[in-house]
Structure 1
Amino acid sequence: MDFAHADAINQAIRLLSLRHRARAAALLAPLGLHPGQEALLLELARTGPMIQAQLSEALGCEPPSVTLMTRKLEATGHIRREPAPFDKRASVVELTDSGRDLADRVRRVWRDLAEETVAGLPDETVAGLPDVLNALTANVDTRSRPRR
């Protein structure tokens, strides 16, 4: 691949990432959320209670980031943390009733953002996007392969 094509690909991915995150932030702000917190809420809504280490792995982020997010969401009453029965050093995180309600609102925002993002694309392209984007993510996921 020549540099011009490589640069076009990298710039497009970079700009999409920046603009998508900024748009998500704007849509999540009225809900009192910052980017990343919605993913935590949606993961708990999908899976149910889990320890913070599992949540960190599921979200693909560092444990200190999950700790900070859980503290903030706990302070607003959307989640609760309890010591894990099998390991008092670990915390089990679960949604509260307000957290479940907020997760429902986040789902609507997330759907709207996805529809806005793919507006004007053919249905076939939209249908294939998750596979393409997941493949791109796997290609650059440094957690799944040794560094060169």
Structure 2
Amino acid sequence: MDFDRADAINQAIRLLSLRHRARAAALLAPLGLHPGQETLLLELARTGPRIQAQLSEALGCEPPSVTLMTRKLEASGHVRRRPAPSDKRASIVELTDSGAALAERVKELWCALAEETVTGLPEQTVADLPGVLGTLTANVDTRRPRDDARRARQDRGSDG
């Protein structure tokens, strides 16, 4: 790939990420939420109570970030923590009634943000976006071990 094409791709992804996060922050602020907290609420709404380590893995963020988000949401009455029966060092996080209600409001906001984001795109492109973006994310995911076997196969294919 030449530099101009690479630069165009990287700049587009960077700008989309920055502007989407800023727009999400503006929409979340009236709900008293900061970016990231909504994903924790939505994960708990989707899965039910989770151990903080599970939340960290599901959200793709470091455990201290989940701890901080959980503390803030607990202080505002949206989640509660309790010791895990199997490991007293671990905490189980669950939504309170106000957290469940807030998660429903976040779902509405998330739908509006997604619709705003894809305005003007053909329906098939919108349908393909989660898969395309998932592939892009997997390609740059530093948390996963690199697939050396895949690379070796690609290298062999380009040699002959």
Q: Same fold (TM over 0.5)?
A: yes
- SS of 1:77's partner is coil
Instruction: Tell me which amino acid in the other structure corresponds to 1:127.
Output: A
Aligned residue number for residue 11 of structure 2: 11
1:82-121 pair list within 5 angstroms:
82-121=82-121
Aligned residue number for residue 77 of structure 1: 77
* Percent of aligned positions that are identical: 80
Q: How many pairs were matched up?
A: 148
Instruction: Tell me which amino acid in the other structure corresponds to 2:86.
Output: F
TM-score by length of 2: 0.91
1:1-148 pair list within 5 angstroms:
1-146=1-146
For structure 1, list consecutive stretches of 5 or more residues without a partner in the other structure.
none
Instruction: Tell me which amino acid in the other structure corresponds to 1:126.
Output: V
- Greater CA radius of gyration, 1 or 2? 2
Instruction: Tell me which amino acid in the other structure corresponds to 2:8.
Output: A
Between 1 and 2, higher relative CO (CA 8 Å, sep ≥ 6) is seen in: 1
- SS of 2:12's partner is helix
Report the RMSD for the aligned CA atoms in angstroms. Answer: 1.2
CA–CA distance in 2 between the matches of 1:62 and 1:4? 34
Superposed displacement of residue 142, structure 1: 1.0
**Structure 1 runs of 4+ with >2 Å offset:** none
- SS of 1:142's partner is coil
